[in-house]
Amino acid sequence: MGRREARDRAVQLTYEREQRGLGADDLIAEQVLAPDAYTSTLLAGVERHMDQIDGLITRFSTGWPLQRMPALDRAVLRVAVYELGHEPEIPAAVILNEAVEFANTYSTDDSGKFVNGLLSAVSQELRPS
């Protein structure tokens, strides 16, 4: 499984984790098809750094409280913010591009633009040029 597919699965599992109120380890253990190593890394990393990730999302989402965002947007943002902060070998442009694609695919008509704007601001904070 490539990184794009791993991110996609991580977004889906992050969404499921929130909806069901499960921890990452419990959710991974339930999967019929075990997630690949990178998916597991992303899921566990999001869980481990949730307070920091949600703090950044909240700080840069002017006028949009975290709980008012569509749940799928939160999942996409959490995975992308984790990668921006903790996977420095992955170019920010790749992370942002795929996050926008996932938001456009899985969420509302406006989600791609929202995700792009928010992640651009977070990226400037976490990876200044």
For position 105, which CATH number holds?
Answer: 1.10.940.10
pTM recorded for the entire structure: 0.94
pLDDT for res 28: 85
pLDDT at position 62: 84
Whole-Å CA distances, 35 to 55, 73, 77, 94, 125: 27, 21, 20, 21, 30
Q: What is the reported pLDDT for 47? A: 95
Rounded alpha-carbon distances, angstroms, from residue 115 to 12, 43, 111: 16, 19, 6
Which mean pLDDT values do the consecutive 10-residue runs of the chain (129 residues) have? 93 94 86 90 96 97 90 98 97 98 94 96 93
Cβ–Cβ < 8 Å for 35, 13: yes
Q: Are 87 and 122 in contact (CB under 8 A)?
A: no
Q: What total number of domains does the chain contain? A: 1
Find the domain containing 98 and state its range.
3-126
CA 19, distance to chain mean position in Å, is: 15
